[in-house]
Amino acid sequence: MPIASYGAEIALQLRMVPLFASVSTPDLAALLADAVIEDREAGTVLLRAGEPADAFFVLLSGHVRLTAETGGRSDTVEILEAPALFGEAAVFDHGPNPVGAETLDAARLLRVPGAGFLARLEPRFDLILSMLGGISFRLRVLVRQIAELKLKTTAQRLGGFLLTLTEASDGKVELRLPYDKRLVAEKLGMKPESLSRALARLAPVGVKSRPDGIVAVADVARLRRFSLEEDLA
């Protein structure tokens, strides 16, 4: 179904995607004139690594796992939550998809055919400059994620992830993991057994995990202080 049929709700989500954040509403509508909304079931393969790219996606609801093939094994690169852009790199550089993409649950996506998008973008140098700012923002986010993988302990990374699941700044909360612990471990760049040890390390900070996917946090502010500490020795 064309994007125009969905109106303001989709436009608001697109504004939260750095690539489109500075693009005016009329320009955005023109760029995405042939984009369509698609509803996909869990386990749907959206992209295959190494295959030609003819479209990119904006995740509007649900979760998508990005994967890369290493040594004949499929490893998780990132787990995306809405709203999120993916698949654009291969479209922009006319190369094959560097990663695969698969839905983890029922998902709604905006599929943007690459050829039409690039043709409408090419004569608009002002839009290209605007989008470069969004790409730069994404690069800064990736650099920060890499720094956290190198500089923070597994317990700190897990603590930081748990904090993204709540808007509370203090007090007691119960959080539901958005997907199973194996995928949480992959998202955070650790093995499942490392995640278990990280949860044990968080116990003295007031974090307790339950088998039903609920994590109880006794004091959000205390967990935040722990996750931001530079030296846990």
The domain that holds 91 is classified in CATH as 2.60.120.10
**Pair 127, 182 in one domain:** no
Q: Does the residue 23 lie in any domain? A: yes
Q: Does the residue 72 lie in any domain? A: yes
How does strand 173-176 pair with strand 214-217? antiparallel
Q: Does the residue 28 lie in any domain? A: yes
**Pair 95, 190 in one domain:** no
Q: What is the count of structural domains for the chain?
A: 2
Q: Does the residue 233 lie in any domain? A: no
**Pair 33, 116 in one domain:** yes
Q: Does the residue 87 lie in any domain? A: yes
Strand, coil or helix: 105: coil
Range(s) of the domain holding residue 16: 3-150
**Phi, then psi, of 41 in degrees rounded to 5:** -80, 165
Point out the domain boundary residue: 150, 175, 194: 150
CATH number at 161 reads 1.10.10.10
**Pair 93, 28 in one domain:** yes
* Cβ–Cβ under 8 Å, residues 19 and 134: yes
**Pair 136, 177 in one domain:** no
Q: What pTM does this model have?
A: 0.77
**Pair 185, 92 in one domain:** no
**Pair 217, 166 in one domain:** yes
Point out the domain boundary residue: 129, 150, 171: 150
* Rg, C-alpha atoms of the chain: 19
Point out the domain boundary residue: 109, 128, 150: 150
Residues contacting residue 121 through CB under 8 Å, at least 6 positions apart: 31, 127, 128, 131
Per-residue pLDDT of the chain (233 residues; tens, 9 = 90+): 556 566 677 878 888 888 888 888 888 888 998 999 999 999 999 999 989 889 999 999 999 999 987 766 778 888 999 999 999 888 888 888 989 999 999 999 999 999 999 999 999 988 888 788 777 777 777 777 676 666 788 999 999 999 999 999 889 999 999 888 988 998 888 888 999 999 999 999 999 998 888 999 999 999 999 988 744 43
